[in-house]
Amino acid sequence: MKLLKSKTDQIRGRYNRIAFLYNSLEAPMEYLRFRNWRNRLTKMIRGPSTLEVGVGTGKNLPYYPLEVDVTAIDFSPKMLSYAKKSAFKLDFDVKFHLMDVQQLQFPDKSFDTVFGTFVFCSVPDPLAGLRELRRVCKPDGKLLLLEHIRPHNYFMGLLFDAMNPIVVRIMGANINRRTIDNIQKVGWKITKDVNLGNNIVHLIEATP
Protein backbone atom coordinates (compact mmCIF):
# COMPACT_ATOMS: atom_id res chain seq x y z
CA MET A 1 0.00 0.00 0.00
CA LYS A 2 2.85 2.36 0.95
CA LEU A 3 4.68 1.45 -2.26
CA LEU A 4 1.55 2.17 -4.37
CA LYS A 5 1.15 5.53 -2.60
CA SER A 6 4.70 6.58 -3.37
CA LYS A 7 4.37 5.35 -6.99
CA THR A 8 1.11 7.32 -7.27
CA ASP A 9 2.79 10.46 -5.88
CA GLN A 10 5.65 10.01 -8.34
CA ILE A 11 3.40 9.67 -11.43
CA ARG A 12 1.19 12.55 -10.27
CA GLY A 13 4.36 14.66 -9.90
CA ARG A 14 5.39 13.88 -13.49
CA TYR A 15 2.03 15.01 -14.88
CA ASN A 16 2.10 18.15 -12.73
CA ARG A 17 5.55 18.86 -14.13
CA ILE A 18 4.67 18.42 -17.84
CA ALA A 19 1.12 19.89 -17.69
CA PHE A 20 2.13 23.27 -19.17
CA LEU A 21 3.80 21.50 -22.13
CA TYR A 22 1.35 18.64 -22.58
CA ASN A 23 -0.80 20.02 -25.40
CA SER A 24 2.22 21.30 -27.35
CA LEU A 25 4.05 17.97 -27.00
CA GLU A 26 1.06 16.10 -28.40
CA ALA A 27 0.06 18.69 -31.03
CA PRO A 28 1.37 16.82 -34.12
CA MET A 29 -0.24 13.50 -33.15
CA GLU A 30 -3.37 15.31 -32.03
CA TYR A 31 -3.70 16.86 -35.47
CA LEU A 32 -2.80 13.74 -37.45
CA ARG A 33 -4.63 11.02 -35.51
CA PHE A 34 -5.92 11.64 -31.99
CA ARG A 35 -8.70 14.14 -32.82
CA ASN A 36 -10.34 11.65 -35.22
CA TRP A 37 -10.07 8.86 -32.67
CA ARG A 38 -11.53 11.07 -29.90
CA ASN A 39 -14.40 12.00 -32.20
CA ARG A 40 -15.08 8.35 -32.96
CA LEU A 41 -14.99 7.24 -29.31
CA THR A 42 -17.08 10.06 -27.89
CA LYS A 43 -19.80 9.30 -30.47
CA MET A 44 -20.20 5.95 -28.66
CA ILE A 45 -21.04 7.61 -25.31
CA ARG A 46 -24.53 6.79 -24.04
CA GLY A 47 -25.73 9.12 -21.30
CA PRO A 48 -26.98 10.83 -19.51
CA SER A 49 -24.39 10.33 -16.76
CA THR A 50 -20.80 10.01 -18.00
CA LEU A 51 -17.58 9.76 -16.03
CA GLU A 52 -14.29 10.66 -17.71
CA VAL A 53 -11.21 9.53 -15.80
CA GLY A 54 -7.76 11.03 -16.34
CA VAL A 55 -9.35 13.98 -18.14
CA GLY A 56 -5.90 15.59 -18.38
CA THR A 57 -5.98 19.00 -20.06
CA GLY A 58 -9.53 18.35 -21.29
CA LYS A 59 -8.80 17.32 -24.85
CA ASN A 60 -11.99 15.27 -25.18
CA LEU A 61 -14.30 18.07 -24.06
CA PRO A 62 -14.91 19.57 -27.55
CA TYR A 63 -16.07 16.19 -28.86
CA TYR A 64 -18.72 15.26 -26.28
CA PRO A 65 -22.32 14.86 -27.45
CA LEU A 66 -24.40 17.81 -26.23
CA GLU A 67 -26.92 15.91 -24.15
CA VAL A 68 -24.52 14.25 -21.68
CA ASP A 69 -23.99 15.11 -18.05
CA VAL A 70 -20.22 14.92 -17.54
CA THR A 71 -18.22 14.29 -14.39
CA ALA A 72 -14.46 14.35 -14.93
CA ILE A 73 -11.59 13.45 -12.63
CA ASP A 74 -7.82 13.59 -12.64
CA PHE A 75 -5.28 13.12 -9.84
CA SER A 76 -2.98 15.89 -11.13
CA PRO A 77 -4.09 19.36 -9.99
CA LYS A 78 -2.06 20.99 -12.77
CA MET A 79 -3.58 18.89 -15.58
CA LEU A 80 -7.03 19.44 -14.10
CA SER A 81 -6.54 23.22 -14.03
CA TYR A 82 -6.07 23.19 -17.83
CA ALA A 83 -9.20 21.04 -18.27
CA LYS A 84 -11.18 23.57 -16.22
CA LYS A 85 -9.93 26.41 -18.44
CA SER A 86 -10.91 24.45 -21.55
CA ALA A 87 -14.44 23.79 -20.18
CA PHE A 88 -14.80 27.48 -19.35
CA LYS A 89 -13.79 28.48 -22.90
CA LEU A 90 -16.26 25.97 -24.35
CA ASP A 91 -18.97 27.08 -21.92
CA PHE A 92 -19.34 23.41 -21.00
CA ASP A 93 -20.70 22.59 -17.55
CA VAL A 94 -18.48 19.75 -16.31
CA LYS A 95 -18.28 18.56 -12.68
CA PHE A 96 -14.54 18.33 -12.03
CA HIS A 97 -12.98 16.47 -9.12
CA LEU A 98 -9.40 16.00 -8.04
CA MET A 99 -9.56 12.24 -7.55
CA ASP A 100 -7.62 9.02 -8.01
CA VAL A 101 -9.23 6.42 -10.30
CA GLN A 102 -7.75 3.73 -8.04
CA GLN A 103 -10.06 4.94 -5.23
CA LEU A 104 -13.12 6.61 -6.70
CA GLN A 105 -15.33 8.55 -4.28
CA PHE A 106 -18.60 7.72 -6.11
CA PRO A 107 -21.29 5.25 -5.06
CA ASP A 108 -21.66 1.90 -6.86
CA LYS A 109 -23.58 1.92 -10.17
CA SER A 110 -23.52 5.72 -10.65
CA PHE A 111 -22.70 6.15 -14.36
CA ASP A 112 -24.12 5.10 -17.74
CA THR A 113 -20.74 5.45 -19.47
CA VAL A 114 -17.29 5.37 -17.89
CA PHE A 115 -14.64 6.59 -20.23
CA GLY A 116 -10.96 7.47 -20.64
CA THR A 117 -8.34 8.13 -23.30
CA PHE A 118 -4.67 7.22 -22.90
CA VAL A 119 -5.04 6.84 -19.13
CA PHE A 120 -4.38 3.23 -18.17
CA CYS A 121 -0.83 3.47 -19.49
CA SER A 122 -0.03 5.64 -16.48
CA VAL A 123 -2.35 4.57 -13.64
CA PRO A 124 0.08 3.00 -11.14
CA ASP A 125 -2.23 0.05 -10.36
CA PRO A 126 -4.32 -0.36 -13.54
CA LEU A 127 -6.25 -3.35 -12.18
CA ALA A 128 -7.43 -1.29 -9.20
CA GLY A 129 -8.53 1.54 -11.52
CA LEU A 130 -10.38 -0.77 -13.92
CA ARG A 131 -12.07 -2.51 -10.97
CA GLU A 132 -13.21 0.85 -9.60
CA LEU A 133 -14.66 1.81 -13.00
CA ARG A 134 -16.61 -1.45 -13.05
CA ARG A 135 -17.93 -0.72 -9.56
CA VAL A 136 -19.26 2.75 -10.45
CA CYS A 137 -20.68 1.71 -13.84
CA LYS A 138 -24.40 0.85 -13.99
CA PRO A 139 -25.11 -2.84 -14.80
CA ASP A 140 -26.44 -1.83 -18.25
CA GLY A 141 -23.73 0.81 -18.74
CA LYS A 142 -20.44 0.57 -20.60
CA LEU A 143 -16.75 1.28 -20.55
CA LEU A 144 -15.11 3.14 -23.44
CA LEU A 145 -11.35 3.42 -23.73
CA LEU A 146 -8.74 4.59 -26.19
CA GLU A 147 -5.46 3.02 -25.11
CA HIS A 148 -2.04 2.21 -26.44
CA ILE A 149 -0.90 -1.27 -25.52
CA ARG A 150 2.18 -3.50 -25.73
CA PRO A 151 2.60 -4.50 -29.41
CA HIS A 152 1.72 -8.13 -30.27
CA ASN A 153 4.73 -8.46 -32.56
CA TYR A 154 7.44 -10.37 -30.65
CA PHE A 155 10.38 -8.05 -31.46
CA MET A 156 8.35 -4.84 -31.16
CA GLY A 157 7.13 -6.08 -27.77
CA LEU A 158 10.72 -6.57 -26.59
CA LEU A 159 11.71 -3.16 -27.94
CA PHE A 160 8.84 -1.48 -26.10
CA ASP A 161 9.82 -3.35 -22.89
CA ALA A 162 13.38 -2.02 -23.25
CA MET A 163 12.25 1.58 -23.89
CA ASN A 164 9.57 1.60 -21.20
CA PRO A 165 11.68 2.76 -18.20
CA ILE A 166 12.89 5.83 -20.12
CA VAL A 167 9.38 6.80 -21.26
CA VAL A 168 7.96 6.34 -17.74
CA ARG A 169 10.69 8.55 -16.32
CA ILE A 170 10.02 11.39 -18.78
CA MET A 171 6.26 11.17 -19.39
CA GLY A 172 4.85 9.04 -16.55
CA ALA A 173 3.29 6.65 -19.12
CA ASN A 174 4.05 2.96 -19.74
CA ILE A 175 4.24 1.82 -23.36
CA ASN A 176 4.10 -1.91 -22.64
CA ARG A 177 0.88 -2.35 -20.65
CA ARG A 178 -1.32 -5.38 -21.48
CA THR A 179 -4.46 -3.30 -21.05
CA ILE A 180 -6.82 -5.60 -23.01
CA ASP A 181 -5.89 -8.49 -20.69
CA ASN A 182 -6.20 -6.21 -17.63
CA ILE A 183 -9.72 -5.12 -18.63
CA GLN A 184 -10.82 -8.76 -18.81
CA LYS A 185 -8.96 -9.75 -15.63
CA VAL A 186 -11.22 -7.55 -13.49
CA GLY A 187 -14.42 -8.91 -15.05
CA TRP A 188 -15.31 -6.54 -17.92
CA LYS A 189 -16.65 -8.26 -21.06
CA ILE A 190 -15.14 -6.76 -24.20
CA THR A 191 -17.81 -6.06 -26.84
CA LYS A 192 -15.63 -4.14 -29.29
CA ASP A 193 -11.88 -4.02 -29.81
CA VAL A 194 -10.77 -1.96 -32.82
CA ASN A 195 -7.12 -1.85 -33.80
CA LEU A 196 -6.55 1.79 -34.79
CA GLY A 197 -2.94 1.49 -35.79
CA ASN A 198 -0.17 -1.13 -35.85
CA ASN A 199 -1.96 -3.07 -33.13
CA ILE A 200 -0.69 -0.46 -30.68
CA VAL A 201 -3.63 1.91 -30.25
CA HIS A 202 -7.00 0.27 -29.58
CA LEU A 203 -10.55 1.53 -29.20
CA ILE A 204 -12.26 -0.66 -26.63
CA GLU A 205 -15.88 -1.03 -25.55
CA ALA A 206 -16.80 -3.31 -22.66
CA THR A 207 -19.78 -4.11 -20.43
CA PRO A 208 -19.67 -4.85 -16.67
Residue type, 76: S
Pick from 10, 110, 99, 17: which is nearest to 54 by CA?
99
Q: Which of 50, 76, 174, 182 binds ligand SAM (CB under 6 A)?
A: 76
Question: Measured from the CB of residue 75, what is the shortest distance to ligand SAM in angstroms?
Answer: 4
Number of other residues whose CB lies within 10 A of the CB of residue 134: 19
Q: Which of 56, 141, 151, 208 binds ligand SAM (CB under 6 A)?
A: 56
Q: Which residue, 74 or 112, has its beta carbon nearer to ligand SAM?
A: 74
**Interacting span for ligand SAM (CB under 6 A) from 41-49, 98-106, 131-139, 152-160:** 98-106
Q: Using CB under 6 A, count the residues that bind ligand SAM.
A: 22
Q: Which of 42, 45, 50, 54 binds ligand SAM (CB under 6 A)?
A: 54
| Separation between Cα atoms, residue 46 and residue 115, nearest integer Å | 11
| Separation between Cα atoms, residue 172 and residue 175, nearest integer Å | 10
Q: Under the criterion CB under 6 A, does residue 123 sit at the interface with ligand SAM?
A: yes
β-strands 111-117, 137-148: how paired?
parallel
Write each residue from 140 to 179 as x if it is in contact with ligand SAM (CB under 6 A), else as -, in one continuous string.
---------------------------------x------
Give the dihedral sign, CA 139/140/144/150. Answer: positive
* Max CA distance (Å), the chain: 47
- Which chain residues interact with ligand SAM by CB under 6 A? 11, 15, 53-56, 59, 73-76, 79, 100-102, 117-119, 122-123, 129, 173
